[in-house]
Amino acid sequence: MTRNEAQGTSSIAYANPVLIMGSGNIVGQMENEGPLSGSFDRVSDDKNDMFGEDSWEKAESAMQKQAVALTLQKTCARANDIRYLFSGDLLGQNIASSFGIKEYNIPIFGLYGACSTCGESLILGSMSVAAGYADRVIALTSSHFASAQKEFRFPLEYGNQRPLYASWTVTGSAAFLLQGADAGASPAGGGRIKNALESEYGGKVGITGVTVGKIEDFGIRDSFNMGCAMAPAAAWTISTHLKDFKRTPEDYDAIFTGDLGNVGQQALFNLLEQENIDISANHYDCGMMIYDAQKQDVHAGGSGCGCSAVVLSAHILKQLAKKQWKRVLFIPTGALLNKTSFNEGQNVPGIAHAVVMEAL
């Protein structure tokens, strides 16, 4: 393949992999008490995860700012080496992003894909780099347990009970620096900027293809049951992806959904079974990986934009760079609702975007 090519219904294959040069992440205390404990770059030193700020929204902005700072530091890049920033979060009007990254002075595309935003930002970022529109971009997202509860559900002070199929919003943010395969030769910072994944873990990692999701609405109206609301979208994206690239689940060492949790995972398996697709042998869900559901009492698992983002940054990319896996499919999943749509009795549709990452 000598040029980028549109594939099938909704996918794009890149002629040259878009390099993930490095990634920084930051999480709350509870995230560092789960199975990935010790893998994160920075952990809140405050049990309320305020990150030195006086409101939850500002705390989330502070996380985004630090995730970018860590990414620049690891790759020896400066803010002005980054041509565009693709960012989004769960708060109304993307305020965590707007106030988190304004001081970097990087031209920005604001995105909203609910908890699928990490996928959307990696897709649009890699599309821009692969097309030669930018040598380097950063994809960025975040979520914060307390700001998300305030935004979508009940004030924390109520101490509401949560159903067993509910998930727990991850407090975390991660940034990813993407660079074109031939950007190393460019004058702007090319010599100084280093591939942090390669230098730290031994191998390069690249994005080789993407599949853009569409909205699927199976009529779920319970805003706590996000796993089942998002599973149809994940099923559509996985099924479309495999057709578009003419691949089978066995072509991937691992397939990661974003935050379906244990209830949504079963729904996904059932939906894919109807199309004779079986991913159960190598499927993982970031929401089930980040917490110990039993010990940490999170019920169905983790969720939020930050969930898949920090699992990718702290775990998946490292395993790829270490060549533990050769090729993975990463599919953040989002539930499209807000307080008003829920209160007005609307359904909770879902969306999921897929990104192929390979050890190079």
Residue 105 binds a copy of itself, judged by CB under 8 A = yes
**Residue from the set 49, 81, 120, 358 that interacts with a copy of itself by CB under 8 A:** 120
Residue 305 in contact with a copy of itself, rule: CB under 8 A: no
Contact between 333 and a copy of itself per CB under 8 A: no
Q: By CB under 8 A, is residue 78 in contact with a copy of itself?
A: no
Q: Which residue in the set 42, 83, 194, 243 belongs to the binding site for a copy of itself (CB under 8 A)?
A: 83
- Please report whether residue 101 would count as binding a copy of itself according to CB under 8 A: yes
What count of residues does the chain have?
360
Beta-carbon count within 10 A of 316 CB? 23
DSSP state letter for 139: E
Smallest distance, Å, CB 85 to a copy of itself? 9
Rounded CA-CA distance 8/4 in Å is 13
Residues 158-187 close enough to bind a copy of itself by CB under 8 A: none
Please choose, out of 88-96, 162-170, 195-203, 254-262, the segment that lies near a copy of itself by the rule CB under 8 A. 88-96
By CB under 8 A, is residue 92 in contact with a copy of itself? yes
User: Is residue 112 a contact residue for a copy of itself (CB under 8 A)?
Assistant: yes
CA dist., res. 78 & res. 309, Å (int): 22
Nearest CB to a copy of itself, comparing residues 92 and 203: 92
Minimal distance, residue 230 CB to a copy of itself, in Å: 13
**β-strand 5-7 against 333-335: which pairing, if any?**
unpaired
Please give the span between the terminal C-alpha atoms of the chain, in angstroms, as a whole number: 16
DSSP 328: E
Stretch binding a copy of itself (CB under 8 A), from 37-45, 95-103, 296-304, 323-331? 95-103
Q: Which residues contact 254 (CB under 8 A, 6 or more apart)?
A: 282, 283, 284, 316, 325, 328, 329
**Whole-angstrom distance, CA of residue 46 vs CA of residue 171:** 12
Number of residues that bind a copy of itself (CB under 8 A): 60
Tracing tokens 């595309």 back to the chain, one arrives at: 109
**In the complex, what is the shortest distance from the CB of residue 175 to a copy of itself, in angstroms, rounded to a whole number?**
16
For position 155 contacting a copy of itself by CB under 8 A, the verdict is no
By CB under 8 A, name the one of 9, 29, 280, 296 that touches a copy of itself: 9
- By CB under 8 A, residue 215 contacts a copy of itself: yes
Residue 270: exposed, middle, or buried by beta-carbon count in 10 A (0-12, 13-18, 19+)? exposed
214 forms part of the interface with a copy of itself (CB under 8 A): yes
Nearest alpha carbon to residue 307 among 197, 168, 165, 111: 168
- In angstroms, the CA 190 to CA 256 distance is 32
Q: Which of 30, 59, 77, 91 binds a copy of itself (CB under 8 A)?
A: 91
Exposure string of 329-344, with b = 16+ CB inside 10 Å and e = fewer, is bbbbbbbbbeeeebee
Answer yes or no whether residue 52 interacts with a copy of itself by CB under 8 A.
no
Instruction: Encode burial over 25-60: b for 16+ CB neighbours within 10 A, e otherwise.
Output: bbbbebbbebebeebbbbbbeeeebbbeeeebbbbb
User: Using CB under 8 A, which of the segments 107-115, 167-175, 275-283, 324-332 binds a copy of itself?
Assistant: 107-115
In this chain, which of 43, 166, 226, 351 binds a copy of itself, going by CB under 8 A? 351
Pairing of strands 302-303, 168-169: parallel
Whole-number Å distance between alpha carbons of 261 and 308 = 12
User: Based on CB atoms, which residue is closest to a copy of itself, 97 or 225?
Assistant: 97
- Which residue ranges make up the site for a copy of itself (CB under 8 A)? 3-6, 9-10, 12, 55, 57-58, 83-84, 88, 90-95, 98-99, 101-102, 105-114, 120, 123-124, 127-128, 130-135, 151, 212-215, 217, 336-341, 344, 346, 349, 351
